[in-house]
Amino acid sequence: MRSGFTDSPDKIIITPKTSKRGSQPKGIFKSPPRPANRIGFNSVQSCSKSAIAFSQQQMHDVECLTMKLTKELKSMKEIVDDMLRSEFCLNTSLRYKVNEARMAVKNATRAEEAAKRCLSFMARDCNRFCKIMKLSEGGPPAAQEVVRKERKKIAFADEAGGRLCEVKLFEDDVVSLPDSN
């Protein structure tokens, strides 16, 4: 996708990138089309809604890809397991190849489990992000003044404990000013 700018500072036009060959290369996962080519960012709320929608779409795309990969891994493991159980592999000269195939099945199982674990972490983090963005959509109350702001930080960490991102939240302690008559 390419983005272009218009005369209006609050509009961005997104146009799909055209391929020289006219079609997608074979073997590349094709996600469902995005709903709109023209997105207007008029406010912080619409920007945060767009960020939420983008994150949810990215999560959906990753889930689809992971499910296809795990389905193919499962199919491959079943084929190799059936081959290993057959009498064809009982010959002593093939024993080395059988052990090699068993190791490949174990590695595929580990990769499948790692993909599922990674998908689970990503889904959790995406859900947290969307909840935080939805909470930040509510603006301050209209006819009241903000006396002080208290800063809170939320930090997400990856599996290894490193910091991925930091979100700063401001809580508004709202106090109504007494009417002076």
The total of structural domains in the chain comes to 3
> Is 133 found in the same domain as 159?
no
Q: If 0-12 CB within 10 Å is exposed, 13-18 middle and 19+ buried, where does residue 57 land?
A: middle
Per-residue pLDDT tens for 60-93?
Answer: 888 888 888 888 888 888 887 777 777 665 666 6
> Is 88 found in the same domain as 135?
yes
Please state the pTM of the whole predicted model: 0.41
Nearest alpha carbon to residue 166 among 179, 176, 152, 178: 152
> Is 148 found in the same domain as 117?
no
In a domain, residue 24? The reply is no
Name the phi and psi angles at 136, rounded to 5. -80, -10
Give the domain extent around 10: 1-19+32-42
Q: What is the maximum alpha-carbon separation in the chain?
A: 102
> Is 145 found in the same domain as 127?
no
In a domain, residue 26? The reply is no
